[in-house]
Structure 1
Amino acid sequence: MGKECSICGKKRQVGNNVSHSNIKTKRTFGANLQRMRVQLPNGEVSREMVCTTCLRSGRVVKPAARSAE
């Protein structure tokens, strides 16, 4: 599974920390992932890691509220 959006596949990117003296060291930029209940196209409901871009754009279908049992 890992830290990857299950809708668009967005994952961490690699870049540089740049100091005042311009020394560069490697660093990672993580995707803004949230663990959400998602309704899949076949009607199943499961928990998925979804990036906030997919949430904002409406690519994620949220299921109806759980019934009180």
Structure 2
Amino acid sequence: MAKYCAICHKGVVSGNNVSHSHKKTRRVWAPNVQKVRIILNGAPKTAYVCTRCLRSGKVERNV
């Protein structure tokens, strides 16, 4: 699955897991992206869109 939003270009960010003993291992935080049909430039298109953009109405759904 794509890990970035086609509307706001939100993508993965990386950082560290920090254990109780303060050991650090790398990890990633991925946005909640969904595959949806949207209207983009007047034409229907399938794209990966984050749920923040879907909920805020930044994208027009093609139902």
TM value normalised by structure 1: 0.83
Distance (whole Å) between structure 2 residues aligned to residue 23 and residue 3 of structure 1:
27
Identity of paired residues, percent?
A: 47
Moved over 4 A (4+): none
Separation in 1 of the partners of 2:11 and 2:54?
15
Alignment of 1:43-54 (within 5 A): 43-54=42-53
Structure 2 CA distance for aligned equivalents of residues 26 and 3 of structure 1:
17
**RMSD over equivalenced CA pairs, Å:** 1.0
SS of alignment partner, residue 10 of structure 1? coil
Query: Which has a greater percent of strand?
Result: 2
The residue that corresponds to 1:17 in the other structure is: 17
Q: CA deviation at 1:56?
A: 0.8
1:10 Cα deviation after fit: 0.2
- What's the secondary structure of 2:34's corresponding residue? strand
User: Is residue 62 of structure 1 aligned with residue 61 of structure 2?
Assistant: yes
How many residue pairs get aligned? The number is: 62
Q: Which runs of 5+ in 2 are unaligned?
A: none
The CA distance in 1 between the partners of 2:46 and 2:11, in whole Å, is 18
Q: Which has the larger radius of gyration?
A: 1
Task: State the shift of 1:20 in Å.
Answer: 1.0
TM-score, length-normalised on structure 2? Answer: 0.91
